[in-house]
Structure 1
C-alpha cells in the first residue's frame, strides 16, 4: 500500500486549511497513494478558540473533506474538532473515502509541559480501526504516542499499521522524544507506524508566539522492526511511502512480543496474553 503523509502548517481559518488539504490530496493522488494522512488540528491550529469552530461529523467541514476523498479516490485521514458536552470539543480524526467512514476521538489529552488540553477538549474512550483494501489500520493522535497500550490494542484488533497525526509541542528535547516514541510504539506492537506532524510554523514562514502545540515537523514512517524508513525535516513537505505488510508477520515471528506478553495484575500475579496472528 502506498500512503502519503502531508506535513503542513495549518492556521486558524478552516476554509483556508480546507483549500490546502484539497491541493495536497490531489498531489497525493497524482503520486498514486491510496491513503492521504494529514496532521492533528488540520481543521484549525491550536491556539485558536476551538469551541466556536467545532462542527459535527455531518457538518460542512467534514462534508468537504468527504468531497475531497471522492474527487481523488483516496482514503483521507485528517484532524478536526467536533462538539462535546460542557462547551468543550473532541479532538477528532476523520477517516473517510471509498469504503471507509470512521472517526476517532483522542483518548490521551496533552496535559503536560505546562499545557492543559483538557481545559477545552474532552477525552475519547474508544479504540478505532479502519479497513483499507483488506488491511486493518489503527488510529491515534499525538500525545497518544506516549501510551503503548493503545498501539498494542491496535495490534490485538488485527492492525498492521497505525496512523499518528500530530501537532507536537516544541521545546528542549521534544524532537528527540518524538523520534524515540514513534520508533518505540512500532516495536511495542510490531506494526508499521506512520507519524505525520504539523510542519514547524517557523520553517513554514508563519512563526507563532503562542505556547500552544503547533508542530515541529519530522514526520516519519517506521517499520515494524522499529527502523525509520523515511522521514521529513522541519518544513512543509509530502512523504510517499510504500508499505510491505508481509514484513509485519516476519517481524512478529522473529520477535513475538505480542504473543509472549505476561500481563501483571494488581495482585502481582502474571497472566499470559494470547498470541496475535
Structure 2
C-alpha cells in the first residue's frame, strides 16, 4: 500500500490551513496514495497565544472540516489529522479525524494530555477516556494515536493486540534538548515492540520539530522528512509484516494483559 506523510507549519488562519490540507490531499491522491497522515492541531495555531486553540476551535460540523469533507468527495485517499473542537468548561477537545470520500470514518479524543516539559495541555483541553476504534484501509488494519500518546507503550500495545498492523500518529512535537532523539527513539520502539508499521507526522516551523517518519515492523526508518514543509511517499508491504511477525511473534508470546 502506498502512503504519504505530510508536514507543514500551521497558521493562525483556519482558511489558509484548510487550503494547504486540500492541496496535500489532492497531491497524495494524484500519486495513488491510499493514506495521508498530517500533523496534530491543524485547524489553527498561534505560537504566541496558547489559548488560541480555544478561540479558534470549531465543531465537527463547522466550516473547516466541512471544506475538507467536500474536497475529499472525489478522492480515494484516507486523510488523518487532529483538530480542536469546543468542549465544556470553556475548553476544547483534541479530536483525531479520519476522513475519505466525503465521510468521517472515525474520531478519537486524545487520551494523554501533554502536561510535561513546563507545558500544560490540560489547561485548555479535556482528555478523552476511551481507546479509538480500529480503521481498515485496503488490507491493513490501522490503530491511531495522538502526539503524547507515543510515550505510553500500553496504548500502542493495546491497539496491536486488538489487531492493528499500522499505527498512525499525528503530532506537534515541541523542540527542545534531545527532543528529535526522543521522537525517533519512541516511534521506532513502538513499531518494533509491536511488530507494526508506524507513520508519525509532525508539524514543522519555529516551535515544532517536523521530522515526520515512517518505520517498518523491525524498527527501521523507511522514509523521513526534514524540518521544512514536505510531502513524503513510501510503500508498506503486508507480506513483509507477516514475515516479521512469523520471525518475531511477540504479540503471541505476550502473557501480560
TM-score by length of 1: 0.87
Instruction: Show the counterpart of 2:31.
Output: 31
1:223 to 208, 216, 220: 216
User: Structure 1: which 5+ runs fail to align?
Assistant: 202-206, 208-213, 264-272
Residue 100 of structure 1, CA deviation: 5.5
Instruction: Show the counterpart of 1:22.
Output: 22
Instruction: Give the RMSD, CA atoms, in angstroms.
Output: 1.5
Instruction: Show the counterpart of 2:199.
Output: 194
SS at the partner of 1:56? coil
CA distance in 2, matches of 1:53, 1:100: 21
Query: CA-to-partner distance for each residue in 1:57-90, whole Å, 9 max, x for gaps?
Result: 2222112121222133221112211122211111
Contact 1:166/1:215, CA 8 A, preserved across alignment? no
Instruction: Show the counterpart of 2:178.
Output: 173
User: Structure 2: which 5+ runs fail to align?
Assistant: none
Q: Does 1:154 align with 2:133?
A: no
Residue 45 of structure 1, CA deviation: 2.2
1:164 to 165, 169, 176: 169
Q: 1:168 to 1:69 in 2, by over 3 A?
A: same
CA distance in 2, matches of 1:105, 1:32: 29
Q: 1:164 to 1:46 in 2, by over 3 A?
A: farther
Q: Does 1:262 align with 2:247?
A: no
TM-score by length of 2: 0.93
Contact 1:100/1:131, CA 8 A, preserved across alignment? no
Contact 1:168/1:215, CA 8 A, preserved across alignment? yes
CA distance in 2, matches of 1:73, 1:84: 31
Q: 1:120 to 1:100 in 2, by over 3 A?
A: closer
CA distance in 2, matches of 1:228, 1:23: 26
CA distance in 2, matches of 1:172, 1:46: 22
Contact 1:193/1:221, CA 8 A, preserved across alignment? yes
The count of aligned residue pairs is 252
Residue 154 of structure 1, CA deviation: 1.5
Which stretch shifts more, 244-253 or 215-224? Answer: 244-253
Contact 2:75/2:100, CA 8 A, preserved across alignment? no
Contact 2:97/2:104, CA 8 A, preserved across alignment? no
1:143 to 138, 144, 148: 148
CA distance in 1, matches of 2:93, 2:83: 8
Instruction: Show the counterpart of 1:107.
Output: 111
CA distance in 2, matches of 1:46, 1:220: 25
Contact 1:55/1:82, CA 8 A, preserved across alignment? yes
4+ runs deviating over 3 angstroms:
none
Q: Does 1:133 align with 2:157?
A: no
